[in-house]
């Protein structure tokens, strides 16, 4: 496809911005990550954590399940999920490098 000589090259090559479907998809991903992060941050430390079928599978599983190290690891994963959701939501607000005008050299 030949380029129109009257259109500057920067305008001819620019990709389109975020579509509405892309933004909705990112918002759903952010919501999922944030909710999962809050759940993993709080739920392992509640009393309901010990009352489930997984903890009763075998004695060694119960030892791992109630271990504060395992609970702390899950809470750490929750913090990572919350961080990912915040980074993604900030990525939607910040203009991409394609949209920023670069001064000519």
CA–CA separation, 93 vs 27, rounded Å? Answer: 12
pLDDT at 40 over 80: yes
Which whole-number Å values give the CA distances from 7 to 2, 12, 83, 98, in the listed order? Answer: 11, 7, 42, 17
pLDDT at 22: 84
pLDDT band at 53 (very low <50, low <70, confident <90, very high): confident
For residue 50, give the nearest of 65, 70, 72, 68 by alpha carbon: 65
Distance separating alpha carbons of residues 58 and 103, to the nearest angstrom:
66
Average pLDDT of span 26-43: 95
Q: pLDDT value at position 46?
A: 93
Residue with tokens 């900030």: 90
DSSP state of 49: G
Band of pLDDT at residue 103, cut at 50, 70 and 90: low
For residue 83, the model assigns a pLDDT of 97
Question: Angle at CA 31, nearest 5°, toward 55 and 51?
Answer: 15
């Amino acid at each position: 496809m030949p380029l129109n000589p009257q259109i500057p090259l920067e305008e001819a090559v620019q990709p389109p911005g975020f579509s509405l479907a892309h933004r909705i998809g990112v918002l759903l991903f952010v919501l999922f990550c944030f909710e999962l992060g809050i759940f993993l941050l709080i739920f392992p430390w509640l009393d309901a954590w010990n009352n489930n079928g997984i903890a009763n599978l075998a004695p060694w599983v119960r030892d791992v399940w109630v271990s504060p190290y395992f609970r702390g690891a899950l809470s750490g994963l929750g913090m990572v999920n919350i961080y990912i959701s915040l980074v993604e939501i900030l990525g939607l607000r910040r203009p991409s490098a394609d949209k920023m005008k670069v001064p000519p050299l």
